[in-house]
Amino acid sequence: MEENETVGTDTGKLIDVVGAAIVRDGKVLCARRGNGKSLAGYWEFPGGKVKPGESRREALRREIEEELLCEVTIADEVCTSIQRYDFGTVQLTTFICHLESGTPRLTEHQEIRWERPEDMPSLYWAPADVEAVQLISVMNLDRKQGSTMTDASESPLDNVTSELIEHVPGATSSVLEDVMSGLIKRRPDAPGIYAPRLIANHPGNTMGDVIGEELENADSFDMSVAFVSAEAVKSLFEDFKSSAERSGSAQRSRLITSTKNHFNTPAAFWDLLRLKHVTGVDVRIWNGGTDRSAHSGAQGQPFHPKGYVFARHLEDGSPTTICMSAVPT
């Protein structure tokens, strides 16, 4: 598809939209959509629809001049996300941008704020923006202070890559390439064999949806969740049950949770007990006291992991695992 093409889909129009994550002094400009517009009140990146014949970058420069009365230098693409709304499907491409001249002024938005990347997820973002916000929230933009960043070799995405290499011992280049091409610097022909996917808990792509799908296909699973709600166990109960009946997998499946901060209610523990008895899943509780004690846990360790591993066997017999982890809050 051409960059700025708008086509019909079974869910309606595909609207090609561009957004600017404008960086100044390590902070990012966040804008709140004005009243009377679609998605009024949600936070977004300033920008708008790509017009026929325009490239995405041309469209973004024009939109920023019109909306914020200033000029920006457009640096790297963060990602492209597709989101269905009731009025159509938005394909939002977000770019890191730097202020070139002028000061952003409000013409259409009801409010703008400069936020540190790590604080951005606490705003109420338009669903299409959630993926870009998560990616930007872990970027170190401080290093770009005062820079207009026209040199692609200085991209903040390079910072992410080098941090991954630094902090993920033993990560192979294929894992890193797949993370970059599948999640960070999205390419339409990606991802590779690891096919990473960001689950950002918006409609149609929630942790509950994905866990349900994985239970359908997994031969066995390991779940380690510090907190469990009775509602979550109830809503997934039938999936757990049919997974156990289908593959007899429950004998090899394990779930561990904790008493951390007394968050889990007695109802949640009753539901887990029922899960254990009905499906045979090996359910365990880490009884480590509260987080306030520096040496909680049987081995003096606090318990706060959130990870899921689903094992399945492909037709050629080789195993594959899928790991997920909730973004720490």
Ligand X SMILES: Nc1nc2c([nH]c(=O)n2[C@H]2C[C@H](O)[C@@H](COP(=O)(O)OP(=O)(O)OP(=O)(O)O)O2)c(=O)[nH]1
| Residues at the site binding ligand X, with contacts judged by CB under 6 A | 15, 17, 19, 37-39, 44-45, 47-49, 83, 90, 92, 126, 128-129
- The nearest distance, CB 246 to ligand X, in angstroms, is 39
Which CB atom, from 202 or from 234, has the smaller least distance to ligand X? 202
- The nearest distance, CB 8 to ligand X, in angstroms, is 17
- The nearest distance, CB 9 to ligand X, in angstroms, is 15
- The nearest distance, CB 103 to ligand X, in angstroms, is 20
- The nearest distance, CB 71 to ligand X, in angstroms, is 17
Which CB atom, from 48 or from 182, has the smaller least distance to ligand X? 48
Which CB atom, from 128 or from 255, has the smaller least distance to ligand X? 128
Residue number with the smallest Cβ distance to ligand X = 48
Q: How far apart are CA 191 and CA 177, in angstroms?
A: 8
Which CB atom, from 124 or from 166, has the smaller least distance to ligand X? 124
- The nearest distance, CB 39 to ligand X, in angstroms, is 5
Which CB atom, from 45 or from 310, has the smaller least distance to ligand X? 45
Angle between the 230-247 and 266-279 helix axes, to the nearest 10 degrees? 10
Which CB atom, from 122 or from 242, has the smaller least distance to ligand X? 122
